[in-house]
Amino acid sequence: MGKSIFYINKIIYLFALCIIHSTVKAQAPVKHISVQEAISLSMDINKHIRNARLQTGIAKTKAGQLADEKVPEVGFHGNYMRLGNLVQYDRGLKDPVTYKTIHDKVDFTMEAKLPIYKGGKIQQMIKKGAQEVDLSVLKTAQTERQVRLQIHELYLDIYKLMEMQRLVEEHIKEEQTRLEQVKSLKNNGLVTKNEILRAQLQLSEQQMNLLSVKNDIEISLHQLQLWLELDENTAVTIDTPGLVKAAFSRASVNKNLQLSYGQQDDIKILKQEKSILETERKIIKGNILPTVDLVGSYGLNYPNYYFFPPDPNWYHLGMAGVDINFSITKLFTNKKKVKMAAQELSLQDLRIEIAKEQVSQQVHTAVTKYNEYIDKIDITEHAIRQATENYRIVKQKYLNQLALITDMIDADNELLAAQFNASSTRIETQKKWYELQYITGSL
């Protein structure tokens, strides 16, 4: 009697929790969000994507700054100085001679310098800037694909939990009906009280499972809410139609492998980094080449020191010419830099080969697991038919007093497991498809 009251109180407590939980959720406005809407929102507000796009903006600004190296350098300087008399020691330190000078000295000069040739370094630096922009764009695209995969996987995980909730609720209804049947049999003296307790225990276990599943759904929905930066007071639910394809087609390792070699994010990034290293090597090689600049100046000065003695009058003078520089030292010091650049390129080639091997393994694994889950779909659907027929037979035997209630409970649990495995397998197949799309760079 005590155990019976304990189980009944436990059931009432679980029902109360569910009612309170439902009431609280019902008070908040509900926002239905499809997976495409969630992805669209994430593209604008996800912090990782925003960070990647800011990095791209910085790279573009830097590239524009490098293009400014072609712009002539124009400057102005001016100064005024007050000079004292000149003291000259013609006959030793003890007998100096003082000469009067022009006491004011003024210089206003405008200068210009236009780079003509820098060993090809300016063009290569501009090219490098553009390549770094392309690299940043690739990294941004990779981040966006990662976010898309995360959103798809989260939606499918929530959908799996929702399917579990639906199945458990259906089986709770079945358990409640069974409990009434067992009580009727007890009243007719066909079963013992122990079977009622066993049915009540099975019902309470399913209700606890239901509560756990609901809480897991709420936790996952809250995670989605945080990702999308939605109001905490807004209840979120997902639209499930179309999340899982009706039919799946098998994938080919060779086809997906060739696809990944051409568009997989890690490989594309490594190849772009190699292009940047090649440009850097050209810049380093340009260190030993001469530099040529057009130079010019125009000044207003006082006094005129071009005459002797200096003429205390203002004058202006313009000059234009070519400035050529060549470093002999760099002919020797630049060799090690060129060698180091070549070694960096060889290392990058090795990184690309390693990445291709890793991608090959990832693609092979992803295709194998995806095809495996396709095969499991038929197996799980066949298992449902078997479990359904088994449950029907055991239930009929129990009603005819030819089977124990434990046999009924086992058959019911096996049917629930078969139904969930079938639903879960289809959802996992869809997840494997998205993973394959991500690995090949197609997502």
Domain boundaries defined on the chain: 2-71+118-290+326-439, 72-117+291-325
At residue 272 the predicted structure's pLDDT band, cuts being 50, 70 and 90, is very high
Q: Are the C-beta atoms of 348 and 274 separated by less than 8 Å? A: yes
The predicted pLDDT at position 96 comes to: 85
CA neighbours closer than 13 Å in the CB half-sphere of residue 390: 17
State the average pLDDT over residues 376-386: 93
The predicted pLDDT at position 27 comes to: 54
The predicted pLDDT at position 339 comes to: 93
The predicted pLDDT at position 407 comes to: 86
66-91 burial string, b = 16+ CB within 10 Å, else e?
beeeeeeeeeeeeeeeeeeeeeeeee
The answer on pLDDT for 28 being more than 60 is: no
Strand partners, 104: 82
The answer on pLDDT for 402 being more than 90 is: no
**pLDDT more than 70, % of the chain:** 93
The predicted pLDDT at position 95 comes to: 80
The answer on pLDDT for 8 being more than 50 is: no
The answer on pLDDT for 112 being more than 70 is: yes
Distance CA 387, CA 368 (A): 28
Q: Which of 13-17, 118-122, 210-214, 301-305 has the lowest mean pLDDT?
A: 13-17
The answer on pLDDT for 9 being more than 70 is: no
Residue 24, C-beta contacts closer than 8 angstroms, at least 6 positions apart: none
At residue 6 the predicted structure's pLDDT band, cuts being 50, 70 and 90, is very low
The predicted pLDDT at position 182 comes to: 81
The predicted pLDDT at position 315 comes to: 87
The predicted pLDDT at position 241 comes to: 83
State the average pLDDT over residues 154-172: 92
Q: Which of 195, 180, 196, 202 is nearest to 412 (CA)?
A: 202
The predicted pLDDT at position 367 comes to: 95
Q: Are the C-beta atoms of 65 and 275 separated by less than 8 Å? A: no
State the average pLDDT over residues 225-236: 85
State the average pLDDT over residues 294-320: 88
At residue 3 the predicted structure's pLDDT band, cuts being 50, 70 and 90, is very low
Multiple choice CATH, 2-71+118-290+326-439, 1.10.390.10, 1.20.1600.10, 3.40.50.2300, 3.40.50.510: 1.20.1600.10
The answer on pLDDT for 278 being more than 90 is: yes
Hey, what amino acid is at 274?
A: K
The CA-based dihedral angle spanning residues 90, 93, 99, 102, taken in that order and rounded to the nearest 10 degrees? 120
Distance CA 429, CA 176 (A): 34
At residue 380 the predicted structure's pLDDT band, cuts being 50, 70 and 90, is very high
- The rounded mean pLDDT for the chain is 87
The predicted pLDDT at position 22 comes to: 52
pLDDT tens column, 199-224: 888 889 889 999 999 999 999 999 99
State the average pLDDT over residues 20-42: 72
The predicted pLDDT at position 331 comes to: 86
pLDDT tens column, 50-109: 999 999 999 999 988 888 888 888 899 899 999 888 888 877 777 888 888 888 899 999
The predicted pLDDT at position 21 comes to: 52
